[in-house]
Structure 1
Amino acid sequence: MTALFHDIIFGPVHSRRLGLSLGVNLLPLSSKLCSFDCIYCECGWNAEHPGGRRFNSREDVRTQLEATLRRMVADSTPPDVITFAGNGEPTMHPDFEAVIGDTIALRDALCPAAKVSVLSNATQIHRDSVRRALLRVDNNILKLDSAFDATVRRMNNPQSASYTVRGIVEAMKRFDGRMILQTMFLRGECGGQPVDNTTEEEVSAWLRLVAEIRPRQVMVYSLDRDTPCPTLEKVTKEELQAIAARVEALGIPCSVAYARTPCSCFSPAPRR
């Protein structure tokens, strides 16, 4: 069953990729707010969770994060990573850059060994303030599920009619490799339409974009949690490893996450 996160700070949980991960949700606590409406989102369809569009305030985020970090440090269990995720797209927050600044200051003061990660669908990276903020974090993780607009429309349902893969790729290239590319691979059907970004045509075209973007790392993964569209199929670990090997042949490190792996608005921690 898909569900929302009802706290600003959630977790921590042990992540195979990130270590002890503490989640931060900038989005509304009782509704979903996202620039995508992915067919595999663990938070469900946007329309399933309507309601207030109030982002969590910068001050509430800072205050709650500070209290949690102080408690974790006092307990000798500081987080390995502070991860921005939650009920939608975190970079939509109007004070995103300032929130990142607050978080880095708290991290530096209280748990300097911790990393700061942002899990984003990349729809806001054309904004200068978002780009500046993402360049300050340790793990700037940006999504690109296909090289083809039609497949992205089917898998991710961008809420803006102006979204194009080419536009996102050009914006990603401005990071000069200071980003991690994240891609969900799946197959099946949704709404009576087939969907499969694992075909040779899809993978070859995606690899060409990976080579063009030149991220410092690529993460590939498949379904693990409940999805709003129940007719999707998980890709095998062997298939993901084969794709990863083709990425590494480009001289770019690629990790395969096969369990407890989330989507573009994915969380590093379980809900209460």
Structure 2
Amino acid sequence: MATFLFDKIIFGPVKSRRLGVSLGINLLPNDCKLCSFNCIYCECGWNPDQYDQKINFHPKAQVKESLFEKLSQMKANNEDLDVITFAGNGEPTLHPEFSEIIDYTIQVRNKVFPQARIAVLSNSSMIHKKSIFKALNKIDDNILKLDGGTEETIINLNQPVGKFNLDNMVKLLSKFDSNLIIQTLFIRGEYEGKIIDNTTNAELEAWISHLQKIKPKEVMIYTISRDTPSDNLEKISMNELEQIAKRVDAAGFKTQISS
């Protein structure tokens, strides 16, 4: 199915189904997805089979200039802004100057839109790096992915590019001391002959047990709403998401649903 890429550093603002009025920042190349996961549901499509030897990340100076210009313009026009969101064409924490860009974003936010939050949507794959961990701890909405309760399901669903160990991931997530939001996409389908379903009772029990170790301040659950690179995927109904949310609430966690 058709997918899309962001062709600019700054996009929006848009009305986010999860975050409110959001100004997006894409730190990644405009011409391809760049991610440490290759999720079968990703709206940006698949990772390319091969990357050019030199990956064209947006330079820090260009990001800073573009962000300041857009925020200043919005302020002059009396536009609303709830959140500045790092997302874009893949995994934002792969940018080699990610931590420095976060520091600048905090600085310019405080000056121009002090009421706005700063959010990062991340697949959690880089949180073992001290600079990334430290940067994510500075922002308002540290939104980290955990798409299943078992390692097999996560590998089939998220297609990590490198090695993946779920127990290690849970330990790393717990080190944020609740300064994080866990984001989980629920889905059913088939990919490469394998049935994928992270809504089964066994998956949900295992997933909630991980939440109890991680202790996030909030859990965001949602399902697909746009085109996906794999065709054989099923959107989860709002009723089923609500039933999952009840289980999360019963475990003691604030839950937000979007479909």
Structure 1 unaligned spans of 5+: 259-272
Question: RMSD value over aligned CA atoms?
Answer: 1.2
Contact 1:32 1:49 in 2 (8 A): no
Residue matched to 2:117: 115
Residue matched to 1:235: 236
- 2:22 is paired with a residue whose SS is strand
Distance apart, 1:50 and its partner CA: 4.9
Structure 2 unaligned spans of 5+: none
Contact 2:148 2:154 in 1 (8 A): yes
Distance apart, 1:17 and its partner CA: 2.6
Residue matched to 1:147: 149
Is 1:253 paired with 2:254?
A: yes
Is 1:195 paired with 2:196?
A: yes
Deviations 1:66-118 (A, max 9, x none): 00000000000042100000011001111111000000000000010000000
Structure 2 distance, partners of 1:41, 1:132, is 27
Contact 1:173 1:213 in 2 (8 A): yes
Residue matched to 2:38: 37
Residue matched to 2:214: 213
Structure 2 distance, partners of 1:211, 1:34, is 28
Residue matched to 2:22: 21
- 2:35 is paired with a residue whose SS is coil
Is 1:76 paired with 2:62?
A: no
- Range 26-35 or range 49-58, more displaced: 49-58
Distance apart, 1:37 and its partner CA: 0.2
- 1:55 is paired with a residue whose SS is coil
Residue matched to 1:170: 171
Contact 1:31 1:49 in 2 (8 A): no
The one-letter code matched in structure 2 to 1:7 is K
Distance apart, 1:251 and its partner CA: 1.4
Residue matched to 2:62: 60
Structure 1 distance, partners of 2:126, 2:15, is 29
The one-letter code matched in structure 2 to 1:218 is V
Identity of aligned residues (%): 46
Structure 2 distance, partners of 1:73, 1:37, is 37
Question: Which segments of structure 1 move beyond 4 Å, counting only runs of 4 or more?
Answer: 48-52
TM-score norm. by structure 1 comes to: 0.92
The one-letter code matched in structure 1 to 2:211 is V
Distance apart, 1:196 and its partner CA: 0.5
Higher relative contact order (CA 8 A, sep 6+): 1
Deviations 1:161-202 (A, max 9, x none): 2x1111110000000000000001000101221110111111
Distance apart, 1:148 and its partner CA: 1.2
Distance apart, 1:136 and its partner CA: 0.5
Contact 2:32 2:48 in 1 (8 A): no
Structure 1 distance, partners of 2:89, 2:50, is 10
